[in-house]
Structure 1
Amino acid sequence: MNDPIRESMLKKSKAARRETFGKTISFLAIAIIVAVVAAIFYFVASKGISTFTQNGVNFWDFLTGNTWNPGAKGADGKPLVGALPMILGSFLVTILAAVVATPFAIAAAIFMTEVAGKKGARILQPVIELLVGIPSVVYGFIGLSVIVPFVRSVFGGTGFGILAGTFVLFVMILPTVTSMTVDALRSVPRHYREASYALAATRWQTIYKVILRSAMPGILTAIVFGMARAFGEALAVQMVIGNAFTVPNSLTTPASTLTSVLTMGMGNSVMGTLSNNALWSLALILLMMSLIFNLVIRWIGNKGGNTK
Protein backbone atom coordinates (compact mmCIF):
# COMPACT_ATOMS: atom_id res chain seq x y z
CA MET A 1 0.00 0.00 0.00
CA ASN A 2 1.45 3.35 -1.06
CA ASP A 3 2.06 6.00 1.52
CA PRO A 4 0.10 9.16 0.47
CA ILE A 5 2.51 11.41 2.35
CA ARG A 6 5.48 9.95 0.50
CA GLU A 7 3.71 10.31 -2.84
CA SER A 8 2.82 13.94 -2.17
CA MET A 9 6.44 14.69 -1.26
CA LEU A 10 7.77 13.06 -4.43
CA LYS A 11 5.20 14.75 -6.66
CA LYS A 12 6.30 18.00 -8.31
CA SER A 13 4.72 21.10 -6.90
CA LYS A 14 2.77 23.57 -9.01
CA ALA A 15 5.65 26.07 -8.80
CA ALA A 16 8.15 23.42 -9.95
CA ARG A 17 5.96 22.50 -12.92
CA ARG A 18 5.69 26.16 -13.88
CA GLU A 19 9.46 26.52 -13.65
CA THR A 20 9.98 23.47 -15.88
CA PHE A 21 7.45 24.82 -18.37
CA GLY A 22 9.16 28.22 -18.40
CA LYS A 23 12.58 26.64 -18.96
CA THR A 24 11.20 24.55 -21.81
CA ILE A 25 9.63 27.58 -23.52
CA SER A 26 12.85 29.59 -23.09
CA PHE A 27 14.93 26.75 -24.53
CA LEU A 28 12.62 26.41 -27.53
CA ALA A 29 12.72 30.16 -28.16
CA ILE A 30 16.53 30.20 -28.00
CA ALA A 31 16.71 27.14 -30.27
CA ILE A 32 14.45 28.82 -32.84
CA ILE A 33 16.57 31.99 -32.79
CA VAL A 34 19.79 29.99 -33.25
CA ALA A 35 18.20 27.97 -36.06
CA VAL A 36 17.01 31.12 -37.85
CA VAL A 37 20.46 32.74 -37.63
CA ALA A 38 22.15 29.54 -38.82
CA ALA A 39 19.66 29.25 -41.70
CA ILE A 40 20.34 32.84 -42.77
CA PHE A 41 24.09 32.27 -42.74
CA TYR A 42 23.74 29.00 -44.65
CA PHE A 43 21.37 30.47 -47.24
CA VAL A 44 23.53 33.52 -47.95
CA ALA A 45 26.74 31.49 -47.94
CA SER A 46 25.38 28.81 -50.28
CA LYS A 47 24.23 31.48 -52.73
CA GLY A 48 27.33 33.61 -52.35
CA ILE A 49 29.92 30.92 -53.06
CA SER A 50 28.16 29.99 -56.31
CA THR A 51 30.07 32.79 -58.03
CA PHE A 52 33.32 30.95 -57.32
CA THR A 53 32.17 27.32 -57.54
CA GLN A 54 29.78 27.50 -60.51
CA ASN A 55 30.89 30.55 -62.49
CA GLY A 56 34.62 30.05 -61.98
CA VAL A 57 35.38 33.55 -60.69
CA ASN A 58 38.61 33.83 -58.73
CA PHE A 59 37.92 34.89 -55.15
CA TRP A 60 40.94 37.21 -54.94
CA ASP A 61 40.07 38.85 -58.25
CA PHE A 62 36.54 39.36 -56.97
CA LEU A 63 37.78 41.16 -53.86
CA THR A 64 40.46 43.27 -55.55
CA GLY A 65 38.93 43.96 -58.96
CA ASN A 66 37.84 47.54 -59.57
CA THR A 67 35.41 46.97 -62.47
CA TRP A 68 31.81 45.88 -61.85
CA ASN A 69 30.02 44.75 -65.01
CA PRO A 70 28.74 41.16 -64.57
CA GLY A 71 27.26 41.13 -68.07
CA ALA A 72 30.61 41.66 -69.78
CA LYS A 73 34.02 40.00 -69.90
CA GLY A 74 37.48 41.44 -69.95
CA ALA A 75 40.20 40.97 -72.53
CA ASP A 76 41.29 37.79 -70.75
CA GLY A 77 37.77 36.35 -70.98
CA LYS A 78 37.09 36.64 -67.27
CA PRO A 79 33.87 38.21 -65.93
CA LEU A 80 34.19 41.81 -64.76
CA VAL A 81 32.93 41.38 -61.20
CA GLY A 82 35.31 43.38 -59.04
CA ALA A 83 33.82 44.27 -55.64
CA LEU A 84 36.62 46.57 -54.44
CA PRO A 85 34.76 49.87 -55.17
CA MET A 86 31.74 48.78 -53.13
CA ILE A 87 33.85 47.43 -50.27
CA LEU A 88 35.83 50.66 -50.02
CA GLY A 89 32.65 52.73 -50.24
CA SER A 90 31.00 50.77 -47.42
CA PHE A 91 34.06 51.06 -45.20
CA LEU A 92 34.55 54.77 -45.83
CA VAL A 93 30.92 55.75 -45.27
CA THR A 94 30.59 53.62 -42.13
CA ILE A 95 33.83 54.69 -40.48
CA LEU A 96 33.43 58.38 -41.30
CA ALA A 97 29.83 58.42 -40.06
CA ALA A 98 30.89 56.76 -36.80
CA VAL A 99 33.83 59.16 -36.37
CA VAL A 100 31.58 62.19 -36.88
CA ALA A 101 28.65 60.90 -34.80
CA THR A 102 30.59 59.65 -31.77
CA PRO A 103 31.71 63.06 -30.35
CA PHE A 104 28.21 64.52 -30.77
CA ALA A 105 26.63 61.46 -29.18
CA ILE A 106 28.99 61.47 -26.20
CA ALA A 107 28.53 65.22 -25.71
CA ALA A 108 24.73 64.89 -25.80
CA ALA A 109 24.83 61.93 -23.40
CA ILE A 110 27.07 63.82 -20.95
CA PHE A 111 24.74 66.81 -21.09
CA MET A 112 21.71 64.60 -20.39
CA THR A 113 23.24 62.62 -17.53
CA GLU A 114 25.87 64.80 -15.87
CA VAL A 115 25.10 68.45 -16.66
CA ALA A 116 21.40 69.07 -17.09
CA GLY A 117 20.10 65.96 -15.34
CA LYS A 118 16.40 65.20 -15.59
CA LYS A 119 15.65 68.54 -17.22
CA GLY A 120 18.09 67.84 -20.05
CA ALA A 121 16.68 64.36 -20.51
CA ARG A 122 13.16 65.77 -20.83
CA ILE A 123 14.36 68.11 -23.59
CA LEU A 124 16.63 65.80 -25.57
CA GLN A 125 14.89 62.44 -25.16
CA PRO A 126 11.87 63.36 -27.35
CA VAL A 127 14.22 64.71 -30.01
CA ILE A 128 16.22 61.48 -30.04
CA GLU A 129 13.08 59.36 -30.20
CA LEU A 130 11.80 61.46 -33.10
CA LEU A 131 15.03 60.95 -35.04
CA VAL A 132 14.81 57.19 -34.49
CA GLY A 133 11.27 57.06 -35.83
CA ILE A 134 11.92 58.91 -39.10
CA PRO A 135 11.95 56.46 -42.06
CA SER A 136 15.20 56.10 -43.97
CA VAL A 137 13.59 57.23 -47.22
CA VAL A 138 12.83 60.59 -45.56
CA TYR A 139 16.50 60.93 -44.61
CA GLY A 140 17.34 60.13 -48.22
CA PHE A 141 15.01 62.82 -49.58
CA ILE A 142 16.40 65.38 -47.11
CA GLY A 143 19.92 64.41 -48.15
CA LEU A 144 18.99 64.70 -51.80
CA SER A 145 17.35 68.11 -51.33
CA VAL A 146 19.66 69.69 -48.75
CA ILE A 147 22.95 67.86 -48.25
CA VAL A 148 23.79 67.15 -51.91
CA PRO A 149 23.33 70.83 -52.97
CA PHE A 150 25.27 71.93 -49.87
CA VAL A 151 28.21 69.64 -50.70
CA ARG A 152 28.08 70.76 -54.34
CA SER A 153 28.20 74.46 -53.42
CA VAL A 154 30.88 74.16 -50.73
CA PHE A 155 33.17 71.39 -51.95
CA GLY A 156 32.42 71.32 -55.67
CA GLY A 157 31.65 68.37 -57.88
CA THR A 158 28.21 66.87 -58.33
CA GLY A 159 27.45 66.78 -54.61
CA PHE A 160 26.96 63.01 -54.70
CA GLY A 161 29.57 60.88 -53.00
CA ILE A 162 31.05 59.57 -49.76
CA LEU A 163 30.76 62.94 -48.02
CA ALA A 164 27.02 63.27 -48.66
CA GLY A 165 26.48 59.69 -47.52
CA THR A 166 28.49 60.38 -44.37
CA PHE A 167 26.32 63.37 -43.45
CA VAL A 168 23.12 61.37 -43.94
CA LEU A 169 24.34 58.38 -41.94
CA PHE A 170 25.69 60.67 -39.24
CA VAL A 171 22.17 61.91 -38.52
CA MET A 172 20.71 58.40 -38.79
CA ILE A 173 23.05 56.71 -36.31
CA LEU A 174 23.30 59.63 -33.88
CA PRO A 175 20.13 58.67 -31.91
CA THR A 176 21.26 55.05 -31.54
CA VAL A 177 24.73 55.93 -30.30
CA THR A 178 23.38 58.66 -28.02
CA SER A 179 20.70 56.50 -26.37
CA MET A 180 23.09 53.64 -25.66
CA THR A 181 25.79 56.02 -24.42
CA VAL A 182 23.27 57.54 -22.00
CA ASP A 183 22.53 54.05 -20.64
CA ALA A 184 26.26 53.35 -20.30
CA LEU A 185 26.87 56.59 -18.37
CA ARG A 186 23.90 55.98 -16.09
CA SER A 187 25.19 52.49 -15.30
CA VAL A 188 28.34 53.90 -13.68
CA PRO A 189 27.91 53.46 -9.90
CA ARG A 190 27.16 56.63 -7.98
CA HIS A 191 29.97 56.02 -5.47
CA TYR A 192 32.49 56.43 -8.30
CA ARG A 193 31.38 60.04 -8.65
CA GLU A 194 31.28 60.60 -4.90
CA ALA A 195 34.78 59.20 -4.45
CA SER A 196 36.10 61.45 -7.20
CA TYR A 197 34.50 64.54 -5.67
CA ALA A 198 35.87 63.54 -2.27
CA LEU A 199 39.36 63.69 -3.77
CA ALA A 200 38.70 67.32 -4.82
CA ALA A 201 38.23 66.52 -8.50
CA THR A 202 36.16 68.96 -10.52
CA ARG A 203 33.02 67.94 -12.41
CA TRP A 204 34.83 67.74 -15.76
CA GLN A 205 37.76 65.84 -14.27
CA THR A 206 35.27 63.35 -12.84
CA ILE A 207 33.48 63.02 -16.16
CA TYR A 208 36.65 62.54 -18.19
CA LYS A 209 38.80 60.43 -15.86
CA VAL A 210 36.17 58.43 -14.01
CA ILE A 211 32.78 58.27 -15.69
CA LEU A 212 33.84 58.03 -19.34
CA ARG A 213 36.56 55.48 -18.61
CA SER A 214 34.21 53.35 -16.53
CA ALA A 215 31.53 53.50 -19.23
CA MET A 216 33.93 52.86 -22.11
CA PRO A 217 32.79 49.26 -22.85
CA GLY A 218 29.18 50.45 -23.06
CA ILE A 219 30.18 53.39 -25.27
CA LEU A 220 32.07 51.06 -27.62
CA THR A 221 29.01 48.83 -27.78
CA ALA A 222 26.94 51.87 -28.72
CA ILE A 223 29.39 52.66 -31.50
CA VAL A 224 29.09 49.07 -32.73
CA PHE A 225 25.32 49.33 -33.02
CA GLY A 226 25.64 52.67 -34.79
CA MET A 227 28.16 51.23 -37.24
CA ALA A 228 25.95 48.21 -37.79
CA ARG A 229 23.07 50.45 -38.85
CA ALA A 230 25.35 52.58 -41.02
CA PHE A 231 26.90 49.50 -42.61
CA GLY A 232 23.55 47.96 -43.46
CA GLU A 233 21.70 51.10 -44.52
CA ALA A 234 20.74 50.97 -48.18
CA LEU A 235 18.01 53.34 -49.36
CA ALA A 236 19.16 56.62 -47.83
CA VAL A 237 22.77 56.05 -48.91
CA GLN A 238 21.74 54.99 -52.39
CA MET A 239 19.93 58.30 -52.91
CA VAL A 240 22.96 60.49 -52.13
CA ILE A 241 26.13 58.52 -52.87
CA GLY A 242 25.91 58.59 -56.68
CA ASN A 243 25.98 54.81 -57.35
CA ALA A 244 29.11 54.85 -59.50
CA PHE A 245 30.96 51.52 -59.76
CA THR A 246 34.39 53.09 -59.46
CA VAL A 247 36.98 53.28 -56.71
CA PRO A 248 36.39 56.65 -54.97
CA ASN A 249 39.37 58.96 -55.38
CA SER A 250 37.90 61.69 -53.16
CA LEU A 251 35.02 62.22 -50.76
CA THR A 252 33.07 64.27 -53.30
CA THR A 253 33.14 61.92 -56.29
CA PRO A 254 30.20 59.53 -56.87
CA ALA A 255 30.73 56.09 -55.34
CA SER A 256 28.72 53.06 -54.27
CA THR A 257 28.35 50.69 -51.33
CA LEU A 258 27.54 47.02 -51.01
CA THR A 259 23.99 47.79 -49.93
CA SER A 260 23.33 50.29 -52.71
CA VAL A 261 24.45 47.84 -55.39
CA LEU A 262 22.33 45.09 -53.86
CA THR A 263 19.29 47.37 -53.74
CA MET A 264 19.63 48.39 -57.37
CA GLY A 265 20.61 45.05 -58.85
CA MET A 266 18.78 42.27 -57.04
CA GLY A 267 15.41 42.99 -58.66
CA ASN A 268 16.94 43.20 -62.13
CA SER A 269 18.80 39.89 -62.22
CA VAL A 270 17.72 36.34 -62.96
CA MET A 271 18.25 33.68 -60.30
CA GLY A 272 21.19 31.41 -61.12
CA THR A 273 22.95 33.79 -63.51
CA LEU A 274 26.38 35.26 -62.90
CA SER A 275 24.98 38.71 -62.15
CA ASN A 276 22.62 37.27 -59.51
CA ASN A 277 25.29 35.05 -57.97
CA ALA A 278 27.69 38.00 -57.83
CA LEU A 279 25.10 40.00 -55.91
CA TRP A 280 24.74 37.16 -53.43
CA SER A 281 28.52 37.19 -53.06
CA LEU A 282 28.31 40.88 -52.18
CA ALA A 283 25.64 40.00 -49.61
CA LEU A 284 27.95 37.37 -48.14
CA ILE A 285 30.79 39.87 -47.89
CA LEU A 286 28.43 42.35 -46.25
CA LEU A 287 27.37 39.74 -43.72
CA MET A 288 30.94 38.69 -42.91
CA MET A 289 32.17 42.28 -42.63
CA SER A 290 29.36 43.11 -40.22
CA LEU A 291 30.24 40.06 -38.14
CA ILE A 292 33.92 40.99 -38.07
CA PHE A 293 33.12 44.55 -37.03
CA ASN A 294 31.03 43.29 -34.13
CA LEU A 295 33.64 40.76 -32.98
CA VAL A 296 36.52 43.23 -33.12
CA ILE A 297 34.72 46.07 -31.36
CA ARG A 298 33.31 43.74 -28.71
CA TRP A 299 36.81 42.44 -28.08
CA ILE A 300 38.01 46.02 -27.65
CA GLY A 301 35.10 46.66 -25.28
CA ASN A 302 35.97 43.62 -23.20
CA LYS A 303 39.60 44.70 -23.03
CA GLY A 304 38.49 48.14 -21.91
CA GLY A 305 36.26 46.63 -19.24
CA ASN A 306 39.12 44.53 -17.86
CA THR A 307 41.40 47.56 -17.47
CA LYS A 308 38.99 49.59 -15.35
Structure 2
Amino acid sequence: MKIKEYRSQFIQELAPIYDAGEAESFFYLILEEKHQLKRIDLALQPDLVFSEEEIKVWNAILLQLKKEIPIQYLLGKTSFYGLDFEVNENVLIPRPETEELVDWILESQKSKVESPILKILDIGTGSGCIAISLAKNIPNAQVYAIDVSEKALATAQRNAKRNEVNVTFINQNILETLDLGQEFDIIVSNPPYVRNLEKQEIKKNVLDNEPHLALFVEDNDALIFYRKIAQLAQKNLRTNGQLYFEINQYLGKEMIELLEEMNFKNLELRKDIYGNDRMTRAVVS
Protein backbone atom coordinates (compact mmCIF):
# COMPACT_ATOMS: atom_id res chain seq x y z
CA MET A 1 0.00 0.00 0.00
CA LYS A 2 1.20 3.50 -0.80
CA ILE A 3 2.19 5.42 2.33
CA LYS A 4 0.00 8.32 1.24
CA GLU A 5 -3.03 6.02 1.09
CA TYR A 6 -2.26 4.55 4.50
CA ARG A 7 -1.92 8.05 5.95
CA SER A 8 -5.50 8.89 4.90
CA GLN A 9 -6.77 5.63 6.41
CA PHE A 10 -4.78 6.22 9.61
CA ILE A 11 -6.19 9.72 10.13
CA GLN A 12 -9.73 8.60 9.32
CA GLU A 13 -9.61 5.74 11.86
CA LEU A 14 -8.47 8.10 14.61
CA ALA A 15 -11.10 10.73 13.74
CA PRO A 16 -13.58 9.71 16.47
CA ILE A 17 -10.93 10.32 19.17
CA TYR A 18 -8.50 12.95 17.86
CA ASP A 19 -8.92 15.90 15.53
CA ALA A 20 -7.41 15.56 12.06
CA GLY A 21 -4.43 17.80 12.81
CA GLU A 22 -3.43 15.81 15.87
CA ALA A 23 -3.91 12.48 14.10
CA GLU A 24 -1.76 13.71 11.20
CA SER A 25 0.96 14.84 13.62
CA PHE A 26 0.94 11.34 15.14
CA PHE A 27 1.36 9.85 11.67
CA TYR A 28 4.44 11.92 10.89
CA LEU A 29 5.99 11.36 14.32
CA ILE A 30 5.73 7.60 13.81
CA LEU A 31 6.91 7.84 10.20
CA GLU A 32 10.07 9.64 11.27
CA GLU A 33 10.73 7.35 14.22
CA LYS A 34 10.09 4.05 12.41
CA HIS A 35 11.23 4.89 8.88
CA GLN A 36 13.40 8.04 9.19
CA LEU A 37 11.06 9.76 6.72
CA LYS A 38 9.78 13.31 7.07
CA ARG A 39 6.74 15.04 5.61
CA ILE A 40 8.88 16.50 2.83
CA ASP A 41 10.13 13.03 1.83
CA LEU A 42 6.56 11.87 1.31
CA ALA A 43 5.75 14.98 -0.71
CA LEU A 44 8.77 14.46 -2.96
CA GLN A 45 8.24 10.69 -3.29
CA PRO A 46 4.46 10.17 -3.37
CA ASP A 47 4.80 6.57 -4.59
CA LEU A 48 6.62 5.28 -1.52
CA VAL A 49 4.97 2.11 -0.16
CA PHE A 50 4.65 0.15 3.08
CA SER A 51 5.33 -3.57 3.00
CA GLU A 52 2.78 -5.95 4.52
CA GLU A 53 5.00 -6.40 7.56
CA GLU A 54 5.30 -2.65 8.02
CA ILE A 55 1.53 -2.26 7.81
CA LYS A 56 1.17 -4.85 10.60
CA VAL A 57 3.45 -2.74 12.81
CA TRP A 58 1.49 0.41 11.97
CA ASN A 59 -1.85 -1.28 12.63
CA ALA A 60 -0.62 -2.41 16.05
CA ILE A 61 0.34 1.19 16.90
CA LEU A 62 -2.99 2.42 15.55
CA LEU A 63 -4.81 0.00 17.85
CA GLN A 64 -2.91 1.39 20.85
CA LEU A 65 -3.71 4.96 19.85
CA LYS A 66 -7.39 4.05 19.63
CA LYS A 67 -7.10 2.93 23.26
CA GLU A 68 -5.80 6.45 23.96
CA ILE A 69 -2.33 5.34 25.02
CA PRO A 70 -0.14 8.46 24.66
CA ILE A 71 1.96 8.61 21.50
CA GLN A 72 5.02 9.45 23.63
CA TYR A 73 4.73 6.15 25.50
CA LEU A 74 4.26 4.24 22.24
CA LEU A 75 7.41 5.80 20.78
CA GLY A 76 9.19 5.61 24.14
CA LYS A 77 10.45 9.17 23.87
CA THR A 78 9.54 12.82 23.76
CA SER A 79 11.18 16.21 23.36
CA PHE A 80 11.60 18.70 26.20
CA TYR A 81 13.50 21.98 26.09
CA GLY A 82 15.19 20.89 22.86
CA LEU A 83 16.42 17.61 24.35
CA ASP A 84 15.31 14.00 23.83
CA PHE A 85 13.90 12.11 26.81
CA GLU A 86 12.90 8.51 27.29
CA VAL A 87 9.39 8.25 28.74
CA ASN A 88 7.46 5.24 29.96
CA GLU A 89 4.60 4.33 32.27
CA ASN A 90 6.76 5.10 35.33
CA VAL A 91 7.10 8.83 34.59
CA LEU A 92 4.86 11.70 33.59
CA ILE A 93 5.14 12.98 30.04
CA PRO A 94 6.84 16.41 30.30
CA ARG A 95 4.53 19.34 29.50
CA PRO A 96 5.19 22.64 27.70
CA GLU A 97 4.24 24.49 30.91
CA THR A 98 7.20 22.85 32.65
CA GLU A 99 9.48 24.12 29.90
CA GLU A 100 8.34 27.60 30.92
CA LEU A 101 9.43 26.88 34.50
CA VAL A 102 12.89 25.82 33.27
CA ASP A 103 13.02 28.95 31.13
CA TRP A 104 12.21 31.15 34.13
CA ILE A 105 15.06 29.62 36.15
CA LEU A 106 17.54 30.02 33.29
CA GLU A 107 16.37 33.58 32.68
CA SER A 108 16.96 34.43 36.36
CA GLN A 109 20.58 33.29 36.10
CA LYS A 110 21.52 35.39 33.06
CA SER A 111 21.92 38.64 34.99
CA LYS A 112 23.89 37.07 37.84
CA VAL A 113 27.63 37.07 38.23
CA GLU A 114 28.69 33.49 37.64
CA SER A 115 29.61 31.69 40.84
CA PRO A 116 32.10 28.80 40.87
CA ILE A 117 29.30 26.29 41.57
CA LEU A 118 25.52 26.74 41.51
CA LYS A 119 23.87 23.99 43.53
CA ILE A 120 20.39 23.03 42.32
CA LEU A 121 17.93 20.48 43.69
CA ASP A 122 14.93 19.15 41.74
CA ILE A 123 12.37 17.45 43.99
CA GLY A 124 10.09 14.86 42.37
CA THR A 125 12.22 14.64 39.25
CA GLY A 126 10.29 11.92 37.35
CA SER A 127 11.88 11.63 33.91
CA GLY A 128 14.57 14.09 35.02
CA CYS A 129 13.41 16.69 32.51
CA ILE A 130 13.88 19.73 34.79
CA ALA A 131 17.15 18.64 36.38
CA ILE A 132 18.72 17.52 33.10
CA SER A 133 17.63 20.63 31.18
CA LEU A 134 19.14 22.85 33.89
CA ALA A 135 22.35 20.81 33.98
CA LYS A 136 22.62 21.06 30.20
CA ASN A 137 22.12 24.82 30.13
CA ILE A 138 24.00 26.01 33.24
CA PRO A 139 27.67 25.01 32.84
CA ASN A 140 28.58 25.76 36.48
CA ALA A 141 25.60 23.86 37.94
CA GLN A 142 25.89 20.97 40.34
CA VAL A 143 22.47 19.34 40.03
CA TYR A 144 20.75 16.92 42.40
CA ALA A 145 17.39 15.24 41.86
CA ILE A 146 15.10 13.37 44.28
CA ASP A 147 12.24 10.98 43.57
CA VAL A 148 10.32 8.45 45.64
CA SER A 149 10.06 6.02 42.70
CA GLU A 150 13.07 3.81 41.95
CA LYS A 151 11.69 3.08 38.48
CA ALA A 152 11.33 6.78 37.71
CA LEU A 153 14.92 7.37 38.87
CA ALA A 154 16.19 4.58 36.62
CA THR A 155 14.51 6.34 33.68
CA ALA A 156 15.97 9.70 34.76
CA GLN A 157 19.46 8.20 35.00
CA ARG A 158 19.20 6.90 31.44
CA ASN A 159 18.01 10.34 30.33
CA ALA A 160 21.00 12.03 31.97
CA LYS A 161 23.32 9.65 30.12
CA ARG A 162 21.40 10.19 26.86
CA ASN A 163 21.83 13.96 27.20
CA GLU A 164 25.43 13.77 28.44
CA VAL A 165 25.01 15.54 31.77
CA ASN A 166 25.93 14.72 35.34
CA VAL A 167 23.06 14.71 37.83
CA THR A 168 23.15 13.12 41.30
CA PHE A 169 19.95 11.10 41.71
CA ILE A 170 18.58 10.25 45.16
CA ASN A 171 15.79 7.79 46.01
CA GLN A 172 13.94 9.51 48.84
CA ASN A 173 10.41 10.19 50.09
CA ILE A 174 10.35 13.95 50.50
CA LEU A 175 7.36 13.83 52.88
CA GLU A 176 9.48 11.75 55.28
CA THR A 177 12.60 13.91 54.91
CA LEU A 178 13.61 16.02 57.93
CA ASP A 179 16.66 17.68 56.38
CA LEU A 180 18.25 17.69 52.94
CA GLY A 181 21.75 17.42 54.40
CA GLN A 182 23.31 20.28 52.44
CA GLU A 183 22.61 23.79 51.21
CA PHE A 184 21.37 24.78 47.75
CA ASP A 185 21.14 27.96 45.69
CA ILE A 186 17.97 26.82 43.92
CA ILE A 187 15.29 24.30 44.83
CA VAL A 188 12.68 23.52 42.17
CA SER A 189 9.74 21.16 42.23
CA ASN A 190 6.82 20.09 40.09
CA PRO A 191 5.16 17.87 42.70
CA PRO A 192 1.79 16.08 42.55
CA TYR A 193 -0.90 18.76 42.63
CA VAL A 194 -4.09 17.52 40.93
CA ARG A 195 -6.90 17.11 43.44
CA ASN A 196 -9.20 14.10 43.18
CA LEU A 197 -12.09 16.51 42.63
CA GLU A 198 -10.36 17.61 39.40
CA LYS A 199 -10.10 14.10 37.94
CA GLN A 200 -13.05 14.74 35.62
CA GLU A 201 -10.97 17.47 33.93
CA ILE A 202 -8.11 15.10 33.17
CA LYS A 203 -8.03 13.58 29.69
CA LYS A 204 -8.62 9.84 29.53
CA ASN A 205 -5.21 9.18 27.97
CA VAL A 206 -3.54 10.82 30.99
CA LEU A 207 -5.84 9.32 33.63
CA ASP A 208 -5.52 5.77 32.30
CA ASN A 209 -1.81 5.74 31.55
CA GLU A 210 0.31 8.21 33.48
CA PRO A 211 1.44 7.40 37.05
CA HIS A 212 -1.11 8.58 39.63
CA LEU A 213 1.66 8.75 42.24
CA ALA A 214 3.08 11.74 40.35
CA LEU A 215 -0.28 13.38 39.65
CA PHE A 216 -2.76 13.33 42.51
CA VAL A 217 -3.10 14.66 46.05
CA GLU A 218 -5.95 14.40 48.52
CA ASP A 219 -8.61 17.11 48.30
CA ASN A 220 -8.30 17.99 52.00
CA ASP A 221 -4.55 18.75 51.83
CA ALA A 222 -3.73 19.75 48.26
CA LEU A 223 -0.62 21.73 49.28
CA ILE A 224 1.00 18.95 51.30
CA PHE A 225 4.07 18.69 49.06
CA TYR A 226 4.49 22.46 48.74
CA ARG A 227 4.34 22.98 52.49
CA LYS A 228 6.90 20.25 53.15
CA ILE A 229 9.28 21.39 50.42
CA ALA A 230 9.01 25.02 51.57
CA GLN A 231 9.88 23.92 55.13
CA LEU A 232 12.95 22.11 53.82
CA ALA A 233 13.85 25.13 51.70
CA GLN A 234 13.84 27.31 54.85
CA LYS A 235 16.51 25.01 56.30
CA ASN A 236 18.48 24.13 53.20
CA LEU A 237 18.42 27.13 50.87
CA ARG A 238 21.31 29.55 51.20
CA THR A 239 20.49 33.18 52.05
CA ASN A 240 18.72 34.69 49.03
CA GLY A 241 18.32 31.21 47.57
CA GLN A 242 15.38 30.72 45.22
CA LEU A 243 12.44 28.32 45.48
CA TYR A 244 10.51 27.55 42.29
CA PHE A 245 7.27 25.60 42.02
CA GLU A 246 4.96 24.45 39.26
CA ILE A 247 1.49 24.69 40.78
CA ASN A 248 -2.18 23.79 40.43
CA GLN A 249 -3.78 26.52 38.30
CA TYR A 250 -6.67 26.85 40.76
CA LEU A 251 -4.48 27.36 43.83
CA GLY A 252 -2.30 30.34 42.94
CA LYS A 253 -3.74 32.53 45.70
CA GLU A 254 -3.38 29.76 48.29
CA MET A 255 0.23 29.14 47.23
CA ILE A 256 1.20 32.79 47.67
CA GLU A 257 -0.53 32.88 51.06
CA LEU A 258 1.36 29.75 52.14
CA LEU A 259 4.73 31.23 51.16
CA GLU A 260 3.87 34.57 52.80
CA GLU A 261 2.98 32.82 56.06
CA MET A 262 6.35 31.08 55.94
CA ASN A 263 8.14 34.44 55.58
CA PHE A 264 9.54 33.97 52.10
CA LYS A 265 10.21 37.23 50.26
CA ASN A 266 10.04 38.54 46.68
CA LEU A 267 7.06 36.31 45.93
CA GLU A 268 6.00 36.06 42.30
CA LEU A 269 3.13 34.18 40.64
CA ARG A 270 3.36 33.59 36.87
CA LYS A 271 0.85 32.44 34.30
CA ASP A 272 1.63 29.84 31.65
CA ILE A 273 1.15 30.19 27.89
CA TYR A 274 -2.51 29.24 28.34
CA GLY A 275 -3.14 32.08 30.81
CA ASN A 276 -3.35 29.83 33.89
CA ASP A 277 -1.59 30.50 37.20
CA ARG A 278 1.18 27.92 36.90
CA MET A 279 4.46 28.92 38.59
CA THR A 280 5.73 30.61 41.72
CA ARG A 281 9.10 31.92 42.74
CA ALA A 282 10.12 32.84 46.28
CA VAL A 283 13.37 33.88 47.95
CA VAL A 284 14.45 32.68 51.36
CA SER A 285 15.23 35.44 53.87
- Per the shorter chain, which TM-score range? under 0.3
- Structure label with greater radius of gyration: 1
Q: Which is bigger in relative contact order (C-alpha 8 A, separation at least 6)?
A: 1
| Structure with the bigger percentage of helix | 1
| Structure with the bigger percentage of strand | 2
Structure 1-normalised TM-score? 0.20
